Amino acid sequence: MSETIFALSSAAGRAGLAVIRLSGPAAGNTLQAFSDRPLPPPRRATRTCLLDPKSGDALDDGMALWFPGPGSYTGEDVVELHVHGGVAVVAALLEALGRWPGLRMAEPGEFTRRAFLSGKIDLTEAEGVIDLIDAETDAQRRQALRQAEGALGRLYDGWRTRLVGLLAHFEASIDFVDEPIPEALESQVRDGILCIAEEIAQHLDDNRRGERLREGVHIAILGAPNVGKSSLLNLLSQRDAAIVSATAGTTRDVVEVRLDLKGYPVTVADTAGLRESGDDIEAEGVRRALARAESADLKIAVFDLSKLLDSTTMDLIDSETIVVFNKSDLAERVAPSPSIDSIAAAPACPISVKTGAGVDGFLQVLTDAVADRTGLTDTPVITRVRHRTALQSCHDALARAAAASESELAAEDLRLAVRALGRITGSVDVEDLLDVIFRDFCIGK
Ligand SMILES: Nc1nc2c(ncn2[C@@H]2O[C@H](COP(=O)(O)OP(=O)(O)OP(=O)(O)O)[C@@H](O)[C@H]2O)c(=O)[nH]1
Ligand SMILES: [Mg+2]
């Protein structure tokens, strides 16, 4: 019989309310002992005075909820205690529960792990729950909620069910070794395999949208010294994150700011101005800036509209770049440079960080570019490397199965493909994965 676990499920620290959760066979008895009353009606919030069962001292006056298994989050008997969120109240309750026989503190993610083990949710739903707790922006929340509600799991289960059907056809024919597989059946199975392989290939070809939305889109601000890169970072983050000065070569380190850009999570990095420098520290700054340009999901190439356009920055422009011509307030002083036309293929925004001119338009271009590269399509998207690896091996196995000359070999590859999908949702043995997946959870969830 499994142990009964308990934990503070709300955040630690002073608050209006705190929720302590218990799950396991002793949950009901514990509530009776701590309230000195019979169990309340199931799933009904009931005002309850909580007592220390040893001394009879009152611990708090709160609310109790009783969820008999299997109709609970974990599938086991669950009790929730809604108490005053004072540090001493919570400490006294946790201490008294810890002394009660048969109870122990839950480990991180243990409630959700039990929900998975009792078949209440699959692994993708459990991961959706982690993401929902970690979601910092609205787009992240929507993606996580969809996954927690099972949209991704249903997609993978659908493929798995179809593959199992094809495998059954094959296995039935292998059992009758003497009879050759009818040609019509063989081509029907092969078509089925190719069709699913194609659907999986399309699903894999998603430009990492879902993973980017989970992790945040990495944006690097690049350009020659003094063009206003740090000023632009400060404008985006609405605070003095980086030092701005009229001295060229002010920024040396990469300065990173995490932002919620109209619902999308982004990490914006301001970098050192690109130029040849005899100064070792500045040269290292330039090296780091170029490394960021390499690794960023999106680049903002900044030019000073009142100066000649810098060729090092021009060389960095590609389809993942937004071009910003800053200092448009100074621009009438110089004739527009002819080389602007040559880079107009990338979206280009004339702005002035100083006066605010053009900034709204630039923010819209930036938001659209980020939205373009992140999740939230009609169909659910891959949100983790773990899914991608399993889908890739499923796809590879299907390609081998379709090309196999012997039906025994094709059947073996089909079995591997089914297994790879099963590891994503946890419907096959995944004991080795569980510690890794649930490690990301907090205690109490
Ligand atoms: N007139 C005008 N000045 C600006 C504008 N944006 C920034 N500046 C000024 O340009 C100078 C350089 O700005 P920074 O933001 O430090 O430039 P940077 O690109 O980060 O420079 P480095 O860190 O040296 O590479 C500062 O004096 C800013 O006040 C603008 O739109 N118009
Ligand atoms: Mg700077």
Which tens digit of pLDDT belongs to each residue from 121-137? 999 999 999 999 999 89
Q: How far apart are CA 362 and CA 368, in angstroms?
A: 10
- Residue 139 pLDDT > 50, yes or no? yes
Please calculate the CA angle 427-431-435 and round it to the nearest 5 degrees: 120
Q: Give the distance (Å) from ligand 2 centre to CA of residue 377.
A: 36
Q: How far is CA 11 from CA 8, 14, 16, 113, 443, in A?
A: 7, 9, 11, 19, 10
Pocket flag, ligand 1, residue 228 (CB < 6 Å)? yes
Taking alpha carbons only, the member of 207, 200, 186, 143 closest to residue 420 is 200
For the ranges 4-8, 211-215, 294-298, the lowest mean pLDDT is seen at 211-215
Domain ranges of the chain: 4-106, 124-208+381-438, 217-372
Task: Specify whether the backbone of 402 is left (phi greater than 0), alpha (psi in -120 to 50) or beta.
Answer: alpha
Pocket flag, ligand 1, residue 231 (CB < 6 Å)? yes
Instruction: Give the position, in ligand 1's atom list, of the atom nearest the Cα of 251.
Output: 23
Q: In CATH terms, are 4-106 and 124-208+381-438 the same topology?
A: no
Tell me what pLDDT residue 167 has: 87
CATH number of 4-106: 3.30.1360.120
Instruction: Give the position, in ligand 1's atom list, of the atom nearest the Cα of 330.
Output: 1
Contacts of 333 (CB under 8 A, 6+ apart): 306
Contacts of 193 (CB under 8 A, 6+ apart): 163, 166, 398, 401, 402, 410, 414
Alpha-carbon dihedral 194, 196, 197, 203, rounded to 10 degrees: 150
- Considering the four listed CATH numbers 3.40.50.970, 3.10.20.30, 1.20.1250.20, 3.40.50.300, the one that applies to the domain covering 217-372 is 3.40.50.300
Tell me what pLDDT residue 338 has: 43
Query: Confidence band (pLDDT; 50, 70, 90) for 17?
Result: very high
Q: Where are the alpha helices (DSSP H) in 373-430?
A: 385-403, 407-425
Q: How far is CA 285 from CA 270, 290, 326, in A?
A: 11, 9, 22
User: Structure pTM?
Assistant: 0.77
Secondary structure class of 15 (helix, strand, coil): coil
Pocket flag, ligand 1, residue 251 (CB < 6 Å)? yes
Backbone angles phi, psi at 82, to 5 degrees: -100, 110
- Residue 62 pLDDT > 90, yes or no? yes
Q: How confident is the model over 343-396, as pLDDT tens digits?
A: 555 678 889 999 999 999 999 999 999 998 886 777 888 999 999 999 999 999
- Residue 273 pLDDT > 70, yes or no? yes
Query: Domain 124-208+381-438 classified CATH 1.20.81.30?
Result: no
Per-position DSSP letters for 274-301, written without gaps between them? P---SSHHHHHHHHHHHHHHHH-SEEEE
Pocket flag, ligand 1, residue 234 (CB < 6 Å)? no
Q: How far apart are CA 330 and CA 325, in angstroms?
A: 11
